[in-house]
Structure 1
Amino acid sequence: MDGVELQILWSNLIGIVSEQARALQRTAFSPIVREAGDLANGLFDEKARMVAQAVTGTPGHINSLAAAARNLLDDFGDEELKPGDVLITNDPWMSAGHFFDVTVLSPIFRNDRIIGYAGSTIHHSDIGGYGIGSGARDIHEEGLWIPTLKLYDQGEPNETLFKIIRRNVRTPDAVIGDLGAQVASGIIAADRLNALCDRYGLDDIASLSEEIITRSEEATRDVIRKLPGGTYHGKSVIDMPGGSEIVLQTAVTVDNEKGDIVIDFEGTSGPSSMGINVVPAYTHAYATFAVRSTLNPELPNNAGSLAPIRLKLPESSIVNAKYPSPCNARHVVGMHVPFPILKALAQVVPDQVVAEGSGAVWTIQIGGKDADGKPFTSSMFNYSGGMGARAGKPGISAVCYPTGVSAVPVEVLEASYPIVFKCKELEHGTGGTGKQPGGDGQRIGYKLRTGQPWLLNTIPSRLSAPPEGLLGGGDGAAGVFQINGENVVDTRKREMQPDDEVFMITPGGGGYGAA
């Protein structure tokens, strides 16, 4: 396939997944999807290999979705699929690592045979159980577990499954509405892919996907071959609510003959009793993102470019969660996975890495009854700290590497829920000093206007161990979490009184290089 033809067809594929993502985001019910873009969309070939992804979304979702398509089909069997079928699961070990992330996969038919799949994963507003926090004692306390099932069977909804979902969640209209948005985005992708085949006289996309995936893999290996071979080590420490510490340790081995990278997590902390354990797919998602965003970010993210990066995970570790470990708050550890990898890569390509940032977004979920006595539960909303500095640029303030989730605007939150914000502004001076300073965190204060007790689920991190500077840069400032002006460490789900106020300062990013 010549370069011009490939570029034209590739542009068409990117247009398809971009339209797929826009349709999902614009028709979603929940602010976390509609406003924050906590989603992923991907287009897969008939072998369930991810060919293209939409730009909107998070690495934790999109790179997990890359594995989820094959997992669903291995579990269900693609020979059983018919036109109009839609598969669904939220199994943490098959998809994105916790029950809130629901994956929907739609086969795309042409002339009565499957030519590809449209997939999406989004964070749903509620999935029953404990909520977004880390307090559940095992996974069965965390919510509704949906095995691989048909959400639609030849175009007909699985009414039994819909009834089960509705009865087990606190916000059924939002959950069912968001599922509808996922299904609709898959229909759009199928229509557009068939239109592409009509336009260019293709029976399928097998040759096109093979060309894209092969070129992407070889280009990634070429970049790795230019690196000095060897094993490089990195370590990152995260303090957790309750005063415990999590150690993430990596040995990054560069094989510049084969053109691959192996990341070994030996020495990483063992499983946690809190719901912060990370399943392998989510660990893989953020580990591969760290390498890809450092070495060759301009290359397409697909099955080919991900193939040269492999992981070794200790059997008993927090980044290799085993059933029935709780994992609803897996992002708290998972979003820190890139940092020990980046510290290792700093010994190889120091001008291409970033210093430690705040890591995980601070997630918040509120619930209770409004002034009229009507129950409500918010979807998760996030606040970022500062990003770590880069070799040639300061860290960005209130932007969290490695996730791509935006903050839901306070106006939208105040219109959707009985919450009122007292402040939301940058906290200047929280970024670490250095040749390039780290990004600043932000201060956020809020209370509820219901006049009734309410529930708070929130998971701050880096309250005592701040993000480290890199290559002589200063550390960022640690975060602050207070209720009614008093510092709070234990942040499991708690009952709040009507006039309670919450105040937070998210951590600043580490600086880069000595000033």
Structure 2
Amino acid sequence: MTAARAFDPVELEILWQSLISTVNEQARALQRAAFSPIVREAGDLANAVFDRRGRMVAQAVTGTPGHINSLALGAAAMLEEYPVESLAPGDVLITNDPYKTAGQLLDVTVLVPAWRVPAGGGEARLIALFGSTIHHTDVGGYGIGAGGRDCFEEGLWIPICRLMTGDGAGGSERNSDVWKFILSNVRQPDHMAGDLHAQTASGEVGAQRLATLCDAHGLDDMEDLADEIIERSEAATRATIRELDAGSHRASAVLDLADGSLIDIVCTMHVDPEAGEITVDYEGSSEASPWGINVVANYTHAYTTFTVRSVLNPDIPNNHGSLAPIKMRAPEGSVVHAVPPQPGTARHVVGMFLPNALLKALAHLKPSGAMAEGAGAVWTMQVNGHHDDGSPFITAMFTYAGGVGARATKPGLDACSYPTGVSAVPIEVVEASAPVRFLRKALRPGSGGNGAQPGGLGQVIEFEVDTARPWQLNAVTSRLTEPPQGIFGGEPGASGSFQVNGEPVTTQTRITLQPGDTVRLELPGGGGYGPPVDTQDRDGPVAS
């Protein structure tokens, strides 16, 4: 048995930065090649490299926490069904199984093995896998929105299978039956095909760069490097937790939906310094909703680990090692642990809301990391209908963010997609893809909660659709009655408002609108931090 290679600190840092550069290049290739605006313009994606055991070693900077940390678990699930020993050069795996990956059928995961011929010659050996998860425009079924009543109604379910197969000469060819099934069940087959090829090609870019890295540094594979990175990351995370006091801290937050129903998120954070572990237990949270907002365990785990890590020590690399000491428990069948066939296309409404409860519990452990509640999930819109000549149109999903909660030393950010990190698809791109006309897009004055540090502002958006025919809108909103709460005496931010022609909309389902109808969105503002201060200070008026 060959002894594990030892890495000195300088060499390890060079290899680490080269590995990060590799996955970042994979992400850039995917974003540039993607057909869907939500990927190309907004960055609704994740990219990472995995070792032969399915452990995430490094992630790209671009992407969302929900995708990347779900991918960290999803890749291992894919390799359980297709072990590395069963794969051949040219094979590519695919799935959108929501309960094993990112929680909604629109998020498709592709895993591309990286092969390398050893320096001494012989057969190519699988040395790593490059994974990506992206939000596809359509997978058939109900489409964007919370109206699907089970996962079968929500769209096409792609089980873990081979998207591409090896051609025997080191190349790939389509698994034609799988491609036929997929493209026959979606509304925009060209977009789907283009995005799948972009995912495959970007994985191949990563594989090529990794082979170059191995050649340059005399590595036969990346097993020893992966072990070193993962072990160091885990040790650093456990050391951070060991500095905390033992104890349990309970917190909660309330989320309201458009139909007036309330979702309780309850978390108890158990700190075990001796083991160097934190366990977050969601016992007491609401049962699963009949609407498609339920969160699978992977996605709950993703935003749980993201929030805990970002407060305690965000400088430690995000990989299998740093995620391992953070455990998560959630009752099966609850809104934070959906099981088949509970629906979840709009699971981001709850998933992106989780930090509002988690940050309250973390405030007991690290007060300097405390933050008031923010708007939570981005609001998502999708418009479809027919042009005047009868030809159909459908927009990619476009998203808008409210205000972020204030922090101990800084105001909340205005109209910022926290915690997801996606950008808004530019209105020019939306208008170019469909007859949507934006009438207004501006910050919402006064929507941030007052405090020693004020909450971030929400925004106001108005749009209409230029067609002589009825059209449909799938909208996912929240925080319409329950405003984001302040912290330590800070005041709440403003709640949101979703209107059509000035009238509130109180449904979770797709709505049909008429020519000339105007949609108005008023997104929530973030809560304030600390008691409001005097409106005058020594330098003059404090900006609101």
| Structure-2-length-normalised TM-score | 0.94
Are 2:47 and 1:41 aligned? yes
Are 2:248 and 1:231 aligned? yes
The counterpart of 2:430, out of the listed 413, 420, 425, is: 413
Are 2:343 and 1:326 aligned? yes
- Give the deviation of 1:156 after TM superposition: 0.9
Rounded to whole Å, the distance in 1 between the matches of 2:530 and 2:277 is: 29
- For residues 413-444 of structure 1, the C-alpha deviation after alignment (integer angstroms, 9 at most, x for no partner) is 11111100010010021011111111000000
- For residues 422-469 of structure 1, the C-alpha deviation after alignment (integer angstroms, 9 at most, x for no partner) is 100100210111111110000000010122111100011000001111
CA contact (8 A) 2:288 2:334 kept: yes
CA contact (8 A) 1:357 1:400 kept: no
Q: Equivalent residue of 1:347, what SS?
A: helix
Are 2:415 and 1:398 aligned? yes
The counterpart of 1:143, out of the listed 148, 155, 159, is: 155
CA contact (8 A) 2:52 2:84 kept: no
Q: Equivalent residue of 1:346, what SS?
A: helix
Are 2:399 and 1:382 aligned? yes
CA contact (8 A) 1:232 1:253 kept: yes
- For residues 393-429 of structure 1, the C-alpha deviation after alignment (integer angstroms, 9 at most, x for no partner) is 1110000221011000101111111100010010021
Code of the aligned partner of 2:313? N
- Give the deviation of 1:372 after TM superposition: 2.9
Code of the aligned partner of 1:277? N
- Give the deviation of 1:512 after TM superposition: 1.0
The counterpart of 2:378, out of the listed 352, 358, 361, is: 361
The answer for the alignment partner of 2:127 in structure 1 is 115
Q: Equivalent residue of 2:364, what SS?
A: coil
Code of the aligned partner of 1:471? F
The counterpart of 2:462, out of the listed 442, 445, 448, is: 445
Code of the aligned partner of 1:308? P
Rounded to whole Å, the distance in 1 between the matches of 2:450 and 2:442 is: 20
Matches of residues 413-492 of structure 1 in structure 2 within 5 Å? Answer: 413-492=430-509
Q: Equivalent residue of 1:150, what SS?
A: strand
Rounded to whole Å, the distance in 2 between the matches of 1:379 and 1:158 is: 27
Q: Equivalent residue of 2:184, what SS?
A: helix
- For residues 62-103 of structure 1, the C-alpha deviation after alignment (integer angstroms, 9 at most, x for no partner) is 000001110001022322100011000000011100100000
Code of the aligned partner of 1:134? A
The counterpart of 2:273, out of the listed 236, 246, 256, is: 256
Larger radius of gyration: 2
The counterpart of 1:32, out of the listed 28, 38, 45, is: 38
Rounded to whole Å, the distance in 1 between the matches of 2:389 and 2:422 is: 32
The answer for the alignment partner of 1:71 in structure 2 is 77
The counterpart of 2:320, out of the listed 297, 303, 306, is: 303
Rounded to whole Å, the distance in 1 between the matches of 2:84 and 2:216 is: 27
Matches of residues 218-297 of structure 1 in structure 2 within 5 Å? Answer: 218-297=235-314
Structure 2 gap ranges (5+): 1-6, 118-123, 167-171, 533-544
Poorly superposed stretches of 4+, deviation over 3 Å:
none
Percent identity between the two aligned chains: 57
Code of the aligned partner of 2:15? L
- Give the deviation of 1:116 after TM superposition: 0.6
Rounded to whole Å, the distance in 2 between the matches of 1:451 and 1:14 is: 50
The answer for the alignment partner of 2:96 in structure 1 is 90
Rounded to whole Å, the distance in 2 between the matches of 1:126 and 1:133 is: 12
Matches of residues 167-206 of structure 1 in structure 2 within 5 Å? Answer: 167-206=184-223
Code of the aligned partner of 2:8? D
The answer for the alignment partner of 2:24 in structure 1 is 18
CA contact (8 A) 2:291 2:508 kept: no
Rounded to whole Å, the distance in 2 between the matches of 1:73 and 1:86 is: 12
Rounded to whole Å, the distance in 2 between the matches of 1:371 and 1:289 is: 46
Rounded to whole Å, the distance in 1 between the matches of 2:446 and 2:312 is: 30
Rounded to whole Å, the distance in 2 between the matches of 1:283 and 1:94 is: 12
**RMSD of aligned alpha carbons:** 0.9
Q: Equivalent residue of 2:147, what SS?
A: coil
Structure 1 gap ranges (5+): none
Rounded to whole Å, the distance in 2 between the matches of 1:302 and 1:482 is: 42
Rounded to whole Å, the distance in 2 between the matches of 1:79 and 1:148 is: 16
